[in-house]
Amino acid sequence: MAYMLGCMKVLVTGGAGYIGSHMVLCLLEAGHDVVVLDNLANSSAESLRRVEELTGKHPDFVELDLLDATGVDRLFETNGFDSVIHFAGLKAVGESVAQPLRYYQNNIVGTLNLLASMDKHGVRTLVFSSSATVYGASEEVPLIEKMPLDATNPYGRTKEQIEDILTDLGAADSSWHIALLRYFNPVGAHESGRIGEDPTGVPNNLLPFVAQVAVGRREKVMVFGNDYPTPDGTGVRDYIHVMDLAAGHLAALDYLPSHPGVFRWNLGSGEGSSVLEVIQAFGDAAGKPVPFAFAPRRPGDAAVSYADPSSALADLGWSTHRNLAQMCEDHWRWQRENPNGYNA
Ligand code: UD1
């Protein structure tokens, strides 16, 4: 791995989740000490057991909710953290529309509790899990960090508002070192097939749905819209392998200590793939076609979304290395070997 840095003690909130568990693996492999905080609301401690099996290293795990401000503060009192990577949060768009108070309470208040403890204990290096969703349904592509933000649902607005909070914090106190990482569409799994995405209930996102169809848990993929102004009429997104995404965080963590301030980076490949291209690539990886049917557009979806990832390359020396075929191969290996996710 190109991003070797001095050993740090890193708190990873949401570290038992999909992206978090891959991040913990990369941190341990890079030689860091890791403490995971997770309330297991949408994740399984089994992911961390497997990370330990893969790395031969033990991540400390604390089952805790960020809404428990006293518990969070006690965690900072008893650990000398150097930095924090903050993934913990609710993330389903449809659910956020139905339950806005729960989303604002959990994502915003949870983050405020975390920041208060970080500030009190002098831990002022933070990598925040933001999302390309903050750009809203922008018609202009590629998406560039300086574009105005316009999230279109409560989930997206929590990401945008946390970005605002962190921007204000960095402006008020120059001892903070903050990275706002705007993820495009994270997919794939660690190449071992031992850890991966394990959504609860019906998957909202395309790749986990396609994977569950391929493994026989669901009948067919519904393609939301085939009348978009795109080459094949279906929606175009910038898919990024979860291991490339984790490498982007390591690069940010390497950059921050010598750079105070607030930085925004898109983490994407810079290339778009259509829904039909994804279904085809997944079928190629699985060695069998994935059945699908066309359905109406999903409200709120943009036709095309892909990153301009050139800032992350210029500042961090980071870019993606895994293509759509590899994303599908790794995602399929995980799904095939764990048809029911972490529930054996
Ligand atoms: C979605 C969220 C976004 C969130 C991101 C997390 C919405 C509107 N946006 O982004 O806020 O940050 O997930 O990864 O939910 N598709 C189908 N059939 C399906 C599922 C999806 O055709 O069963 C299509 C969608 O219309 C879209 C593409 O596949 O064109 C990708 O969808 P998805 O994986 O849900 O990601 P986003 O919509 O980009």
Q: How far apart are CA 203 and CA 47, in angstroms?
A: 19
Ligand 1 contact, 156 CB (< 6 A) = yes
Q: How far apart are CA 171 and CA 8, in angstroms?
A: 25
Backbone angles phi, psi at 273, to 5 degrees: -130, 140
- Counting residues of the chain whose pLDDT is more than 70, the rounded percentage is 99
Domains in the chain: boundaries: 9-186+240-268
Question: Measured from the CA of 234, which atom of ligand 1 is nearest?
Answer: 30
Look at the domain 9-186+240-268 and name its fold: Rossmann fold (3.40.50)
- pLDDT confidence of residue 6: 76
Residue-averaged pLDDT of the chain: 97
User: Bridge partners of 35?
Assistant: 11, 60
Ligand 1 contact, 298 CB (< 6 A) = yes
Question: Measured from the CA of 132, which atom of ligand 1 is nearest?
Answer: 12
Examine the pLDDT at 3 and tell me if it is beyond 80: no
Ligand 1 contact, 224 CB (< 6 A) = yes
- pLDDT confidence of residue 5: 54
Examine the pLDDT at 288 and tell me if it is beyond 70: yes
Indicate which residues carry an active-site annotation: 155
What is the separation of C-alpha 15 from the centre of its chain, rounded to a whole number of angstroms?
Answer: 11
Do residues 338 and 192 lie in contact, with contact meaning Cβ atoms separated by under 8 Å? no
Give per-residue pLDDT as tens, 140-169. Answer: 999 999 999 999 999 999 999 999 999 999
Give 312: exposed, middle or buried? Use CB within 10 Å, 0-12, 13-18, 19+: buried
- pLDDT confidence of residue 1: 40
Ligand 1 contact, 93 CB (< 6 A) = yes
- pLDDT confidence of residue 257: 97
* Residue 289: cis peptide before it, omega within 30 degrees of 0: no
Q: How far is the CA of 224 from the centre of ligand 1 (A)?
A: 9
Average pLDDT, stretch 205-220?
A: 97
Give per-residue pLDDT as tens, 49-98. Answer: 999 999 999 999 999 999 999 999 999 999 999 999 999 999 999 999 99
Examine the pLDDT at 48 and tell me if it is beyond 70: yes
Average pLDDT, stretch 295-301?
A: 95
Give per-residue pLDDT as tens, 106-152. Answer: 999 999 999 999 999 999 999 999 999 999 988 899 999 999 999 99
- pLDDT confidence of residue 328: 98
Query: Strand locations in 234-327, DSSP E?
Result: 236-237, 239-241, 261-267, 273-274, 292-295
Q: How far is the CA of 204 from the centre of ligand 1 (A)?
A: 7
Pocket test for ligand 1, best of 183, 204, 276 (most atoms within 8 A of CB): 204
Do residues 320 and 310 lie in contact, with contact meaning Cβ atoms separated by under 8 Å? no
Question: Measured from the CA of 93, which atom of ligand 1 is nearest?
Answer: 15
What is the separation of C-alpha 306 from the centre of its chain, rounded to a whole number of angstroms?
Answer: 16
Tokens 């390359």, residue located? 313
> For 51-73, what is the HEC assignment?
HHHHHCCCCEEEECCCCCHHHHH
- pLDDT confidence of residue 204: 94
Do residues 194 and 53 lie in contact, with contact meaning Cβ atoms separated by under 8 Å? yes
Q: How far is the CA of 247 from the centre of ligand 1 (A)?
A: 23
Q: How far apart are CA 252 and CA 240, in angstroms?
A: 17
